[in-house]
Amino acid sequence: MGRFRDALSGSGLRGIAEVKRRSPSAGELRADADPAILAAAYERAAAAAVSILVDARFDGSWDDVRAARSTASLPLLAKGFFSTDDDLRRTRDSGADAALLILRDLDDETARRLLGVAAELGLDTLVETHDSEELTRATYLDAPVIGINARDLATFAIDSQAQLGLVASAPRDRIVVAESGIESRAQGAAAELAGANAILVGSALMRASDPAQKLAEVLSRPLVKVCGLTRAEDVAAAAEAGADMAGFVLAEGSPRRAQGVLSVPETMLAVAVEVGESSGAAADLVQLYPREEGKVRGRDAVLLREGNEVAKVLDLPWEESDPAHLERARAAKGRVMLAGGLGPDNVRAAIDAVRPWAVDASSALESAPGVKDHDLIRGYVMAAR
């Protein structure tokens, strides 16, 4: 396993940060981008690797890879339209650790040969796919690291939902990288929950005033969920405050029951909160609690994506307390969404104690059941951050 592949392995979502001065789809992004400065900053921001565009159509060159290598020790991915053995030798000689291979432009015979040459040269590869046919080809070619690009290279259109479907269907014995269209924590988390090991972020970083800070923001955890939303103005307030998930309680008997899942912006994931079984409501995720006789819900829930468990929700018993709640959550394995009595005054201490993947608050943010206090929402999100 090479340095690039190794950096994307393991638990947690990894970030590949890109250096890109312009793109054919977006035009000029950051004309003065200095790969030496950016690569060093990305490394300090905990990037797993740095992607460098070397093609002239992106105002890139091989000197950009050499400049990045002079200041950063993390793995470098050279991105271009590579089709020859010489392209791979140039990749190695520039100091890069991996090369992009775009299956759209390569037949299977050429791709197989290039994968072999890369291995001989000690290079990793990112084999990029755009549809189910290309994903099948990459799997058949035994590509260790598969990129799934949400951007159609012919039309430049982004289809994130199609990308997430492909990520979810990719073989789990490969490293899967979600590419393009990721600008927020929620979008990165959507790729993570679909099964991506890493995300490649380019244009969003290049447009940011501080690219490294933007990278850290997209990768930061915990995610922040505001639950018990019943009004569009409260969803808007949660989004403006920087919350990542909006929860809509659909369970009968809850004082915070919503009429349905409301529309949320692209910076948020919609979560349907249900009891017993899912109703099939249109939401990104379902937070499903067990039924418990005499109560609205049981204690803990599971977070589901298309019926598959992707996280545990560790909560307090219904309308009861548990002094050992944080200790129990701290001992849990895997992704944990921490819930139960959280608000602006205690969420930071809970995060420090548990280090959860996400936090969830509802009643502590209200002026009345189902009616949110916008100041409390802002305070909660700020404290969680």
pLDDT tens readout for residues 228-285? 999 999 999 999 999 999 999 999 888 999 999 999 999 999 999 999 999 999 999 9
What's the pLDDT at 13?
97
Among 149, 184, 197, 203, the active-site one is 149
Positive or negative CA dihedral for 374, 376, 382, 385?
negative
- For 17, the token pair is 């940060």
Same domain, 102 and 208: yes
Among 79, 214, 225, 372, the active-site one is 79
Active site residue 179: yes
Same domain, 336 and 322: yes
Active site residue 120: no
Active site residue 180: yes
Q: Break the chain down into helix, strand, coil percent, rounded to 5.
A: 35, 25, 40
Domain tally, the chain: 2
| Averaged pLDDT for residues 163-188 | 96
Same domain, 260 and 156: no
Active site residue 73: no
For the entire predicted model, the pTM comes to 0.94
Which of 37, 33, 42, 34 shows the shortest CA–CA distance to 7? Answer: 42
What gap in Å lies between CA 306 and CA 53, rounded to an integer? 35
Active site residue 128: yes
CATH of the domain at 380: 3.20.20.70
Same domain, 177 and 257: no
Single residue among 184, 219, 254 that ends a domain in this structure: 219
Among 23, 51, 128, 312, the active-site one is 128
Domain that includes residue 137, residue range: 3-219
Single residue among 202, 219, 236 that ends a domain in this structure: 219
Q: Are 270 and 260 in contact (CB under 8 A)?
A: no
- For 368, the token pair is 């009345």
Same domain, 271 and 345: yes
Same domain, 296 and 318: yes
Active site residue 149: yes
Q: Are 271 and 384 in contact (CB under 8 A)?
A: no
Q: Where are the alpha helices (DSSP H) in the chain?
A: 3-7, 35-44, 62-71, 85-94, 108-121, 132-140, 160-169, 185-194, 203-207, 211-219, 232-241, 325-331, 347-354, 374-384
Same domain, 11 and 31: yes
What gap in Å lies between CA 311 and CA 360, rounded to an integer? 13
What's the pLDDT at 264?
97
Active site residue 214: no
**Count of Cβ atoms closer than 10 Å to residue 252 Cβ:** 10
Which of 5, 70, 11, 76 shows the shortest CA–CA distance to 37? Answer: 70
Asked if residue 255 has a cis previous peptide bond (ω within 30° of 0), the answer is: no
**Count of Cβ atoms closer than 10 Å to residue 113 Cβ:** 14
Same domain, 90 and 103: yes
Same domain, 52 and 32: yes
Largest Cα separation within the chain, whole Å, is 71
Same domain, 264 and 182: no
Single residue among 156, 191, 219 that ends a domain in this structure: 219
Among 23, 51, 94, 180, the active-site one is 180
Q: Please write the tens of the pLDDT for every residue from 108-165.
A: 999 999 999 999 999 999 999 999 999 999 999 999 999 999 987 777 788 999 999 9
Q: Please write the tens of the pLDDT for every residue from 47-73.
A: 999 999 999 889 999 999 999 999 999
> What is the CB-side half-sphere exposure of residue 372 using CA atoms within 13 A?
30
